[in-house]
Amino acid sequence: MNKFNTSSINSGEEQEHSASSPSLQYRSTTTGYDDRLIELEMENARLNRLVAELLVKNQQLRRPD
């Protein structure tokens, strides 16, 4: 049904590449970590703004008119 390119599997090119360049694997992991860190910092800032808005609304509701 589907034809796959098995030349790299049979020759072991994929294994050689990953073994010869561990710094690339580390770099991609670090990049993923950095991206995740930025994403979490943005989410944290969004949540902090949300909490601040809710505190203001809560204060307004508690104020006797």
pLDDT band at 11 (very low <50, low <70, confident <90, very high): very low
Token digits of residue 4: 């796959």
pLDDT band at 27 (very low <50, low <70, confident <90, very high): low
Q: Is the pLDDT of residue 44 over 60?
A: yes
Confirm if 43 and 49 have CB atoms less than 8 A apart: no
First-to-last alpha carbon distance for the chain, in angstroms, is 75
Q: Is the pLDDT of residue 45 over 50?
A: yes
How far apart CA 20 and CA 5 sit, in angstroms, is 22
Q: Is the pLDDT of residue 8 over 60?
A: no
Total-model pTM: 0.53
Look up residue 46 and give its amino acid.
R
In the chain, where the domains are located:
19-62
